[in-house]
């Protein structure tokens, strides 16, 4: 009678089998739901129902029955796709419960790391029994394992079989082993008062072996999918334009750098045909390249034009390397992309820089040759001009003409001097200099220009007289250029020039401020380029600020410009302090 009551109890829990018996499974809800969809479908529910019916009398199975069931399980377990461990376990348990009538089954699975947290049974388990994780020494030995293997998997070892269900008459366990690893333990118990079929243990062991292989396979599948996800995320984060396409050119993996080059979002590119992401004229070569890569499995090179939706077309090269599948056939292609447009731009810059360097050398040579005759012209012209000025009989027109010759010669001399400075590398060693002194000296050299402009000069020097490490002659040039530019910019007779020196942290900031018209925002980078000048033909060469920037950088410093339209400009030269 008691046995009958137990059966009824099992039957009553049948409809709720999964929720009552499921052990704690730490999985995200979305994954759980999908598993439930597979394992509690009508088919499995029917199997569970059958099992509960059959539980009234244990069936004596033949080897042929077991073989048939196993092949059914294999078929179910691998279609439509491989199942994960939990889904597989539920499927197997449902079918085993149906076939092995009269027996109650419990399976405990050990996860990698020795955590036993997946427990499923065909009848309810008391909570304290669910937590029990043990395997008998007999079961271990039958599987060719020892106590250490059990410990590694998180199981304790007992001599006697320990009951999981109430009122069982007989029971044993089977170790689930794959590849020499203990994956879990299957416990089998019989209803009270039933006659245990002869040779039952070996038949249940066959189910156990079958379940072990399936679990092992699912685990490899899970590990492989984890690994491929890990690899994909590595590739995606790579700072190199990379992608993986399948045999039909669909993008499977794409790196962030390649998305930037394409000017598109990941969602637009993933699973898209690569041919649709390139310019129409590149499609045919791309298709041929992909085909060649797949057929020959060789490194294939393709020249492409990419069409970022909101930028200029970009030329790129794509090197395709084949990724082989298990049968040595090409399964996918890894593409390494190189931005040729950026490369070409760099090459152009190098050519331009080389041209400028050659021009600089050439100019320096010419200037050197010109300097001596020019100095004579300048000196003699000045002398003649002085003489004419003091001669009351001299023609005033001639005096003025001589004055112009003097000015023109001076301008040419200044220009040639600038060119030589620009081309010549500095050789003098830097030394500690008072920044204020350098600025004062530069101002003396500029007396002429300052006077011509009629500007007022204010000097604000830090009382600590901070020192900088520099080459005096070069620093003079920096401030002569800045002061001259300021004087040229300020309105005649209304200029206010302010020179300041300030110690700041481990640097010295020297500012040249004027109240001129300011520099338009769009020109603030260009003014430092050689030959950029707004001063008109014959007045400015546009070399001044580029020399200034070169010298400041050679001194390990920086130059900044702030300017407000109509209110003036401040150039700040920041030099490392000498200490």
Chain residues binding ligand ATP by CB under 6 A are 481, 485-486, 489, 514, 516, 519, 527, 532-535, 540-546, 569
Nearer to ligand ATP, 56 or 528 (CB): 528
Residue 218 site contact among ligand ATP, Mg ion, none (CB < 5 to 8 Å, cut-off depends on kind): none
> Prior bond to 544 cis, omega within 30?
no
330 or 363: CB nearest Mg ion: 363
Nearer to ligand ATP, 66 or 478 (CB): 478
485 near Mg ion (CB under 5 A): yes
Stretch that binds Mg ion, among 405-413, 494-502, 523-531, 536-544 (CB under 5 A): 536-544
Give the nearer residue to ligand ATP in terms of CB position, either 308 or 542.
Answer: 542
Q: For the CB of residue 292, give the shortest distance to ligand ATP in the complex, in Å.
A: 55
Return the residue matching tokens 């395709």: 320
516 binds, among Mg ion, ligand ATP, none (CB under 5 to 8 A by kind): ligand ATP
Q: Which partner in Mg ion, ligand ATP, none is near 533 (CB below 5 to 8 A by kind)?
A: ligand ATP
Copy the structure tokens of residue 419: 């060119």
Please classify residue 24 by burial: count the beta carbons closer than 10 Å to its beta carbon, then call 0-12 exposed, 13-18 middle and 19+ buried: exposed
| d(C-alpha 118, C-alpha 109), whole Å | 5
Of 545, 478, 550, 473, nearest in space to 508 by CA:
478
Q: To which residue do tokens 């023609």 refer?
A: 395
Give alpha helix (H) positions in 430-563: 435-445, 447-453, 472-489, 544-554
Task: Show the tokens assigned to 480.
Answer: 């002569």
> Token pair of 96, please?
């085993």
Query: Would you say 533 or 572 has its CB closer to ligand ATP?
Result: 533
**Residue 176 partner contact from ligand ATP, Mg ion, none using kind-dependent CB cut-offs of 5 to 8 Å:** none
- The least distance separating ligand ATP from the CB of residue 371, rounded to whole angstroms, comes to 18
By C-alpha distance, which of 200, 201, 203, 165 is closest to 68?
A: 203
**Residue with smaller CB distance to Mg ion, 416 or 485:** 485
Residue 367 CB, nearest approach to ligand ATP (Å): 14
* 453 binding Mg ion? (CB under 5 A): no
DSSP per position, 397-451: HHHHHHHHHHHHHHHHHHHHHHHHHHHSPP-SPPEEEEHHHHHHHHHHHTHHHHH
Question: Which of Mg ion, ligand ATP, none has residue 110 at its interface (CB below 5 to 8 Å by kind)?
Answer: none
Residue whose CB is less far from Mg ion, 133 or 485: 485
Min CB(447)–ligand ATP separation in Å: 17
**Would you count residue 241 as binding Mg ion (CB under 5 A)?**
no
168 binds, among Mg ion, ligand ATP, none (CB under 5 to 8 A by kind): none
Residue with the two structure tokens 């007779």: 493
Give the residues across from 338 on adjacent strands: 317
Q: Interface with Mg ion includes 544 (CB under 5 A)?
A: yes
Nearer to Mg ion by Cβ, of 203 and 545: the residue is: 545
Q: Residue 386 CB, nearest distance to Mg ion (Å)?
A: 28
Helices then strands, counting H and E runs in the chain, come out as 19, 18
Q: Which one of ligand ATP, Mg ion, none is in contact with 532 (Cβ closer than 5 to 8 A by kind)?
A: ligand ATP
Query: Listing from the earlier edge strand, what are the strands of the sheet with 558-564?
Result: 456-461, 496-504, 507-514, 568-576, 558-564
- Scanning 113-121, 281-289, 396-404, 538-546 for contacts with Mg ion by CB under 5 A, the matching segment is 538-546
Least distance (Å) between residue 555 CB and Mg ion: 19
What lies within 8 Å, CB to CB, of 141 at 6+ separation is none
Closest to ligand ATP by CB, 279 or 420? 420
User: Residue 96 — left, alpha, or beta (φ > 0 → left; ψ -120 to 50 → alpha)?
Assistant: alpha
List interacting residues with Mg ion (CB under 5 A).
485, 544
């Amino acid at each position: 009678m008691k046995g009958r009551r137990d059966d009824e109890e099992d039957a009553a829990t049948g409809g709720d089998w999964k929720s009552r018996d499921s052990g704690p499974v730490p999985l995200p809800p979305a994954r759980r739901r999908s598993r439930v969809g597979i394992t509690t479908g009508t088919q499995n529910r029917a199997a569970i129902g059958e099992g509960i019916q059959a539980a009234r009398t244990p069936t004596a199975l033949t080897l042929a029955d077991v073989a048939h069931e196993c092949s059914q399980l294999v078929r179910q377990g691998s279609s439509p796709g491989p199942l994960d461990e939990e889904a597989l376990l539920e499927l197997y348990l449902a079918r085993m419960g149906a076939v092995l009538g009269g027996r109650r089954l419990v399976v405990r699975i050990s996860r990698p790391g020795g955590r036993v947290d997946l427990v499923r049974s065909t009848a309810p388990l008391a909570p304290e029994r669910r937590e029990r994780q043990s395997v008998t020494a007999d079961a271990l030995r039958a599987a060719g394992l020892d106590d250490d293997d059990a410990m590694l998997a998180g199981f304790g070892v007992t001599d006697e079989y320990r009951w999981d269900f109430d009122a069982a008459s007989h029971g044993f366990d089977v170790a689930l082993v794959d590849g020499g690893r203990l994956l879990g333990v299957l416990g089998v118990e019989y209803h009270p008062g039933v006659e245990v079929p002869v040779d039952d243990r070996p038949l249940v062991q066959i189910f156990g072996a079958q379940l072990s292989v399936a679990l092992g396979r699912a685990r490899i599948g899970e590990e492989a999918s984890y690994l491929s996800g890990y690899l994909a995320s590595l590739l995606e984060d790579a700072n190199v334009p990379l992608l993986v396409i399948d045999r039909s050119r669909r993008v499977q993996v794409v790196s962030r750098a390649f998305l930037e080059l394409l000017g598109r979002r990941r969602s637009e590119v993933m699973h898209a045909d690569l041919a649709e992401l390139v310019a129409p004229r590149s499609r045919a070569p791309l298709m041929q390249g992909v085909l060649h890569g797949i057929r020959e499995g060789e490194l294939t090179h393709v020249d492409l034009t990419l069409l970022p939706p909101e930028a200029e077309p970009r030329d790129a090269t794509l090197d395709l390397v084949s990724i082989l599948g298990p049968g040595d056939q090409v399964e996918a292609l890894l593409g390494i992309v190189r931005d040729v447009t950026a490369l070409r731009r760099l090459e152009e810059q190098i050519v331009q820089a080389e041209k400028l360097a050659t021009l600089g050398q050439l100019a320096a040579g010419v200037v050197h040759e010109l300097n001596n005759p020019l100095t004579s012209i300048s000196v003699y012209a000045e002398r003649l001009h002085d003489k004419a000025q003091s001669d009351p009989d001299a023609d005033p027109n001639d005096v003025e003409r001589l004055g112009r010759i003097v000015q023109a010669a001076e301008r040419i001399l200044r220009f040639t001097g600038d060119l030589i400075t620009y081309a010549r590398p500095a050789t003098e060693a830097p030394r500690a200099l008072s920044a204020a002194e350098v600025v004062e000296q530069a101002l003396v050299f500029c007396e002429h220009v300052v006077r011509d402009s009629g500007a007022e000069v204010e000097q604000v020097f830090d009382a600590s007289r901070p020192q900088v490490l520099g080459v005096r002659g070069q620093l003079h040039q920096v401030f002569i250029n800045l002061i001259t530019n300021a004087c040229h910019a300020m309105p005649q007779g209304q200029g206010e020039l302010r020179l300041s020196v300030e110690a700041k942290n481990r640097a010295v900031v020297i500012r040249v401020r004027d109240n001129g018209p300011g520099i338009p925002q769009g020109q603030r980078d260009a003014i430092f380029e050689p030959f950029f000048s707004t001063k008109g033909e014959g007045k400015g060469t546009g070399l001044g600020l580029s020399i200034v920037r070169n010298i400041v950088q050679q001194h390990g410093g920086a130059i900044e410009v702030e300017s407000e339209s109509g209110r003036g400009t401040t150039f700040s030269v920041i030099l490392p302090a000498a200490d």
